[in-house]
Amino acid sequence: MSTRPSYIIALILSLALLAGCTSSEKPGVGQEEQNPTIAASIFPVYDLVRNVAGDDATVVLILQPGSSPHTFDPTPSALKKLEGTDIFFSIGLGLDGWVSNLTSTSPGAREVSLERGVELRASEEEDEGPHDSHYWLSPANAAIMVQTIADELSREDPANAADYAARAAAYNKSLMQKVKEWQAELADLPTKEIVTFHDAFFYFADEFGLTIV
């Protein structure tokens, strides 16, 4: 039996999670004179952060979409983006290990790895380390990441803590609604086997009862 329909739906749902649930703002767009200034290592992190931050913080993306975090070599322009950064959100687990070096060059910046509190699975790749670093592709983990982001932004900017909390709650409510919709779509599939183009979708597959072949 063909796995193509399953592959297409899984790809669409994964891209939807990567793109977020509510924001369509382009990377790097923000209120330049707002504080605090927040950096995000990769786009999935950036998208979660900007949805929680709203207009109360400037959010900058360091690694542009389409670039690999595994081979990223920080450029002068990337270093310039970090000027005045208060928090640098990262994935950790070796995926974006260059964040620590960048943070050390930006006085006052502190790195926050979003792996805290999420449920990790064993890595399927020998060269990746003990844990799969693509944990944001689990909606349950993404919701935990959103809460961590809200907590850290509130710690940095207590005056806007209520707004950060409200946006985080709204985002997670929207995400959980999407999960219900995706579950309904997947329930009608004739097979739960999917084909992926990258060994990054195991968290997604686990959460929705899919098998990667």
What does the pLDDT look like over 145-202, one tens digit per residue?
999 999 999 999 999 999 999 999 999 999 999 999 988 888 888 888 777 777 788 8
- Residue 70 is encoded by which pair of tokens? 């595994």
Mean pLDDT of the chain: 82
Q: Which helix (H) or strand (E) holds 212?
A: strand 211-212
Query: How confident is the model at residue 143, as a pLDDT?
Result: 97
pTM for this model (two decimals)? 0.82
pLDDT in tens, 112-152: 999 999 999 988 776 667 888 999 999 999 999 999 999 99
Enumerate residues 6+ apart whose C-beta is below 8 A from 52. Answer: 146, 149, 150, 153, 164, 167, 168, 171
Please give the angle made by the CA atoms of 106, 147 and 89, to the nearest 5 degrees: 20
Q: Is 33 exposed, middle or buried (0-12, 13-18, 19+ CB in 10 A)?
A: exposed
Distance of alpha carbon 193 from alpha carbon 141, whole angstroms: 22
Please report the domains of the chain, with CATH numbers, ordered by start residue.
4-115+122-212 (3.40.50.1980)
Mean pLDDT of 79-84: 81
Query: How confident is the model at residue 32, as a pLDDT?
Result: 47
Distance of alpha carbon 115 from alpha carbon 36, whole angstroms: 22
Mean pLDDT of 92-115: 87
Confidence of residue 14 (pLDDT cuts 50, 70, 90): low
Confidence of residue 34 (pLDDT cuts 50, 70, 90): low
